[in-house]
Chain A
Amino acid sequence: MIWVDQPYVTLMASLPAIRFLTEKEPPINRQRLMERLKDLPPADQETLRELTEVVSWRFVDTTQDDAAFLARAAALLERIASPTLAAAVRQRLELRTVIAALRRRHAGEDAPPKGVRWGFGPHLERIRASWSLPDLGVAAFYPWLPAAKEALDAGDTVALERLLLETAWQQQARHAEGHEFDFEAVALYMLRWSMADRWARYDADEARRRFAELLDAALADAPEIPEAA
């Protein structure tokens, strides 16, 4: 009921709308967002922290093996009381699993051995068994997969990143329907903010890399300038 969700009304009304991929940076910076989130009860803050750490790439520890990460994700899913949030996390982890499989196969790796926990979702066995198929046998479940494969094969990392973030954004938006002023709304806002932040960073990194490439190309043809005596 809305009258027991009131701590979230002020918070949600104080957060600016995020227009994904159309802004150079999120409309609220990390510091201000964290300031606003301090108004939440400690238990909610803890859940948000765990949720962000599992879902956001920013917090993924590349030194940690898949099994440890999956165990952490499973533990979080058991603790999350909200079915909406649990569904959002599951969908995000599934997306990450499928794209990881695509990337691993693209890199020439073999299918994960049987009995090893390597991903998340209901189609792990099907993906493993269909490793050699272009769509890993699961395009019917993940409509974005053919486009992702195409971008990966073409080496177009920007298009791939954009496609994945757009897909994840649309999934989150569907979960957010009907949640305006409750904890789910806050958590899903946080996840969308993470995506917008990631895209903004990615964009800046990509721009820097491209600038460096252009600079190198331009300087390669430039005449040598004799040093002053």
Chain B
Amino acid sequence: MSDLIVLLGWLGIYAPVALGALGSAIGVAIAGQAAIGAMLETDGGYGRFVGAAAIPSSNVIYGIVVMFALQQPVTVQNGGALFSIGGLLGIALFYTGVWQGRALASAIAASKSKTEIFGLALAPAAIVEGFAVFAFVFALVLAGGIA
């Protein structure tokens, strides 16, 4: 049983990076494909489409930071806490990355023919980013309390 708890502890330490990277990769891929599509239909402003498509990249960075905060010798006492914090943050980063990619794809698709709405169209993606930041910050707070 204690081995399992230690194993879960290690999973918890690496989960934010692994799941954050997955979320970022899928999110950037979705938004990036929308950016490529939008480029076919527009004569300029490609940079902002590509820039917007890169926004979900932040999720893996949050995961890396939390991984360093969680990194410590794994014991039976701290294994459960490491797994819970890291695992749940990983899931949060994964989902926010994917859905941020969707929100960005919609923003890019909508603003290609109506450029003036580009900033406003990014708002849903920015709000999703806010939720990822909440999960990140409070994971850091809790990580500081693990004995």
Q: Known contacts A2-B26, A2-B101, A14-B41; can you find 13 more A-B pairs with CB under 8 A?
A: A3-B26, A6-B33, A9-B33, A10-B33, A10-B37, A13-B33, A13-B34, A14-B38, A15-B37, A17-B110, A17-B113, A180-B106, A181-B30
CB distance from B86 to the nearest CB of A (A): 23
Chain B contacts with A in 16-36, Cβ cutoff 8 A: 26, 29-30, 33-36
Please judge, given known A-B contacts A2-B102, A9-B105, A27-B113, whether A14 and B30 are in contact too, CB under 8 Å: no
A-B contact count (CB 8 A): 59
Chain B's interface: helix, strand, loop or mixed, by majority? helix
Residues A13 and B102 in contact, CB atoms below 8 Å apart: no
CB distance from A10 to the nearest CB of B (A): 4
Chain A's interface: helix, strand, loop or mixed, by majority? helix
Residues A16 and B41 in contact, CB atoms below 8 Å apart: yes
Interface residue? A99 (CB, 8 A):
no
- Count of chain B residues with a beta carbon within 8 Å of a chain A beta carbon: 22
Q: CB within 8 A of B40: which of A2, A9, A14, A180?
A: A14
Q: CB within 8 A of B29: which of A6, A14, A15, A180?
A: A6
**In the A-B complex, the 10 residue pairs with the closest CB atoms:** A13-B37, A14-B37, A13-B34, A10-B37, A14-B40, A9-B33, A13-B109, A10-B33, A13-B38, A16-B113
Residues B108 and A13 in contact, CB atoms below 8 Å apart: yes
Docked complex Cα distance between A13 and B113 (Å) = 10
Interface residue? A138 (CB, 8 A):
no
CB distance from A193 to the nearest CB of B (A): 14
- List 30 contacting pairs A-B, 8 Å CB cutoff, sorted by A: A2-B30, A2-B98, A2-B101, A2-B102, A3-B29, A6-B33, A9-B33, A9-B34, A9-B37, A10-B33, A10-B34, A10-B37, A12-B37, A12-B109, A13-B33, A13-B38, A13-B112, A14-B36, A15-B37, A15-B41, A16-B113, A17-B113, A17-B114, A27-B113, A36-B40, A180-B102, A180-B105, A180-B106, A181-B34, A181-B102
In the complex, per-residue mask of A180-192: 1 if CB is within 8 Å of any chain B CB, else 0? 1100000000000
Chain B residues positioned under 8 Å from A6 (CB to CB): 29-30, 33
Residue of A nearest to B98 (CB): A2
Residue of B nearest to A1 (CB): B98
Residues A3 and B98 in contact, CB atoms below 8 Å apart: yes
Q: Which A positions have Cβ atoms within 8 angstroms of B?
A: 2-3, 6, 9-17, 27, 36, 180-181
In the complex, per-residue mask of B60-87: 1 if CB is within 8 Å of any chain A CB, else 0? 0000000000000000000000000000
Q: CB within 8 A of A10: which of B36, B98, B112, B114?
A: B36
Q: Which B positions have Cβ atoms within 8 angstroms of A?
A: 26, 29-30, 33-38, 40-41, 98, 101-102, 105-106, 108-110, 112-114
Docked complex Cα distance between A12 and B33 (Å) = 10
Chain A residues positioned under 8 Å from B108 (CB to CB): 13
Residue of B nearest to A39 (CB): B37
Chain A residues positioned under 8 Å from B41 (CB to CB): 13-16
Chain A residues positioned under 8 Å from B35 (CB to CB): 13
Docked complex Cα distance between A126 and B26 (Å) = 52
Docked complex Cα distance between A226 and B33 (Å) = 68
Docked complex Cα distance between A14 and B98 (Å) = 21
Chain B residues positioned under 8 Å from A17 (CB to CB): 110, 113-114
CB distance from A40 to the nearest CB of B (A): 13
Residue of A nearest to B40 (CB): A14
Residue of B nearest to A11 (CB): B37
Chain B residues positioned under 8 Å from A9 (CB to CB): 30, 33-34, 37, 105
